[in-house]
Structure 1
Amino acid sequence: MVATLAFIFAGLAALLHVYIFYMESIAWRRPAIWKRFGVESQDAADITRPMAYNQGFYNLFLAIGAGLGILLFSFGSPDGEIAGRTLVLFSLGSMVAAALVLMTSGLKYLRAALIQGTLPLIGFVLTLFA
């Protein structure tokens, strides 16, 4: 039961990070997207586009790591379970660490950091006990 809950939260965290990838790497040129990230003008969005593009792929890679870890844990041998748990913990831990770093950027980023970090934190803790 704990493993199921852990991987539900890990999966939700992965899906959230795929969505962040979409916003940063694919949809960044849309004003509704870059405004969500606190960018104030089209010129600033154009300047920050390469950085957002790169950052989006970081989010995608973390999501892939969590997803692959869930698959290895769920369908693998005992060695696959160990590798899967390790990969899930690393991916979710990185998501939580990134959220903590975002918090250091100022109070205006607190909400975004909580959105980015809550699901992986819950998944991380549950995975420890799965």
Structure 2
Amino acid sequence: MVGLLALVFAGLAALLHVYIFVLESIRWTQPGTWKTFGVADQGTADATRPMAYNQGFYNLFLAIGAAIGIVLWIVNGFDDVAGRTLLVFSLGSMLAAALVLVTSGRRYLRPAAIQGTLPLIGLVLTLLA
């Protein structure tokens, strides 16, 4: 049961990071997106687009790592070392990124909580499974 819950939360964390990829790498210059990230205006969104594009791909790669870990764990069973290791690395990296975001200032507590809660739960459950 714990293993199944770990997979669910890992999957949700991966989906969230795919969504962040879409926002940062595809939709960054759309007003609804840059306002969500606290960007002041269209000019600033345009100027920061390369940084956001790159950052979005980091999120996508972490999501892909978690997805591969999930597949390996399902296909090879919950004793699969490679799947578990990939999940621990991917979820741990997502959580670490959220913790780094907290160091940017108090206004980033909410985004860090959104970014880090699912990976935290998934990581703990993966370690317990």
TM-score by length of 2: 0.97
Identify if the C-alpha distance between structure 1 residues 11 and 78 changes in structure 2 by more than 3 Å, giving closer, same or farther.
closer
Written as runs of structure 1 = structure 2, the 5 A alignment for 1:68-79 is: 68-76=68-76
Aligned to 1:54: 54
Identify if the C-alpha distance between structure 1 residues 116 and 77 changes in structure 2 by more than 3 Å, giving closer, same or farther.
closer
Tell me the alpha carbon deviations over residues 14-73 of structure 1, each in whole angstroms, 9 at most, x when there is no partner: 000000000000011101101111100111001100000000000000000000001001
Aligned to 2:17: 17
In structure 1, what is the Cα distance between the partners aligned to 2:71 and 2:97? 24
- Aligned-CA RMSD value: 1.1
Contact 2:3 2:78 in 1 (8 A): no
SS of 1:24's partner is helix
Aligned to 1:123: 122
The alignment-based identity, stated in percent, is 71
Aligned to 1:113: 112
Written as runs of structure 1 = structure 2, the 5 A alignment for 1:25-40 is: 25-40=25-40
In structure 2, what is the Cα distance between the partners aligned to 1:78 and 1:96? 22
Tell me the alpha carbon deviations over residues 81-126 of structure 1, each in whole angstroms, 9 at most, x when there is no partner: 1000000000000000000000000011100000000000000000
Q: Which runs of 5+ in 1 are unaligned?
A: none
Identify if the C-alpha distance between structure 1 residues 127 and 77 changes in structure 2 by more than 3 Å, giving closer, same or farther.
closer
Q: Which runs of 5+ in 2 are unaligned?
A: none
Structure 1's consecutive aligned runs of 4 or more residues displaced over 6 angstroms after TM superposition are none
